[in-house]
Amino acid sequence: MQQEVVLALLAKEPSHGYQLRARLREALGPLGDAMNDGQVYVTLARLERAGQVTSARAAGTPDRPDRKTYALTADGQQRVAEWLAEVSWPKPDLAEFHLKLLAAAAAGLADPLGIIDAQRRELLRRLRDAGRAAMAEPDGSEAALLLEGVVLRLQADLRWLEACERSWTGRKVRP
Amino acid sequence: MNADPESMVRARGLRKEYGKEESLIRAVDRVDLDVEAGETVAVMGPSGCGKSTLLHLLGGLDRATAGELWLAGRRIDRMSERGMAALRRDAVGFVFQAFHLMDELTAAENIELPVLLAGRSPRAARRRAAELLERVDLADRARHLPSQLSGGQRQRVAIARALANRPQVVLADEPTGNLDSEATLDVLRLFESLHEAGQTLVIVTHDSRIAATADRLIAMRDGAFIDETRLTGGTSGRLGALLNLDS
């Protein structure tokens, strides 16, 4: 779990770890299923050691054991502010696939069109999974917006594969 | 060639040509297709690849130049005009990109029309329309004219109309082509519920998102099928693997 995300979730008010986890589940929906429940606690512990988070133990009751409340330190607050101001965007790694096609063709090891087909099938299955997950989300769901992004991205990748297919069709590949 | 007797739609060597000699265009070129009962199949390709022509052939809106075609075990490529008209009315439901509703009829009347044309009573037609409007979640829009409905609502009325005579197959041509993303999702959810109810569905589209909702996806170029992908079974990984969340 990215440290800045956990810090930012604490920016509004101090929280228990389980509250952060629930907040993440809501925001990510089915995409958060892969997230390990322990990850939030591991991240909190690291942030505490780095002096960006402090914790206080709240007294528990017999049916609810002691629970730690986490809060941001001044350092933590500054890191959140820097993170929000930072412009970053994930970079898709298209070069690897591009070079795979070139290498396969040059060495005569595999048909680039076969590689493109296999890749397209995988992306279409992912698109189906993401599309179905989006359909299953209720109106106003936060996760639906995230799923929309996943769907649009996969569609863009599929369009690039079409361009690859057009380019490699009819190109001379060493036998 | 062996054809699966279970097929709801079956085509062998289907061909549609326009023009002559030099200017001959093969809009559909030797297509073999089997769609099982209850299956959703998407045919995907760029505009002009022949997918709409193929859909028109399958639904009896147009006749093939050559090839054999069956619907629910009935050979239809050699059917009389009368037979074709009855087939389009009773056995096939069409959904078009531009909806094609009758502008002067209300939502309910648009759905009643094919039921009446099939020779059933006005009472039966009204009952069927009410039932279908309920199903597409537009019971409160029964008396609205198409012009008073949003694009997504019009397409849902069109889908209800397509279902009016309990067709054996629903054929949809770019059904979400004129819709925004929210209305698209509504239409896809509706198709999904039809699929769950066992409706056979053939969708032609250029949109990978729509195509990916099918059980099976066929890629079409220059009138011919070039690739087929079975989409059921899903990815091996969890949805979260679509993002880098588990790192």
Domain check: are A46 and A80 in the same one? yes
**CB B43, CB B203: distance < 8 Å:** yes
Instruction: Identify the domain containing residue A133 by its residue range.
Output: 94-168
ipTM: 0.79
List domains and CATH numbers for chain B: 7-91+167-231 (3.40.50.300), 101-153 (no CATH)
Say if A175 falls within a structural domain. no
A85, A118, A137 — which closes off a domain?
A: A85
Over the stretch A80-138, which tens digit does the pLDDT of each residue have?
999 999 998 888 889 999 999 999 999 998 999 999 989 999 999 999 999 889 888 88
Task: Give the pLDDT band of residue B1 (cuts 50, 70, 90).
Answer: very low
Which residue out of A121, A122, A124 would a mutagenesis test of the B interface target, given it has the greatest number of B Cβ atoms within 10 Å? A124
Domain check: are A151 and A124 in the same one? yes
User: Per-residue pLDDT averaged across B161-166, rounded?
Assistant: 96
Least Cα separation, residue A95 to chain B (angstroms)? 18
Domain check: are A108 and A44 in the same one? no
The reported pTM is 0.83
Domain check: are A160 and A98 in the same one? yes
Say if A11 falls within a structural domain. yes
Domain check: are A50 and A104 in the same one? no
Domain check: are A126 and A104 in the same one? yes
How many domains does chain A divide into? 2
Over the stretch A115-125, which tens digit does the pLDDT of each residue have?
998 999 999 99
Domain check: are A109 and A46 in the same one? no
Chain A interface residues (partner B, CB cutoff 8 A):
28, 30-36, 90, 117, 120-122, 124-135, 148, 150-151, 154-155, 158-159
Over the stretch B202-232, which tens digit does the pLDDT of each residue have?
999 988 989 999 999 999 989 999 889 888 7
Comparing alpha-carbon positions, the chain B residue that sits nearest to A34 is B240
A85, A116, A143 — which closes off a domain?
A: A85
pLDDT at B18 over 50: yes
A52, A85, A118 — which closes off a domain?
A: A85
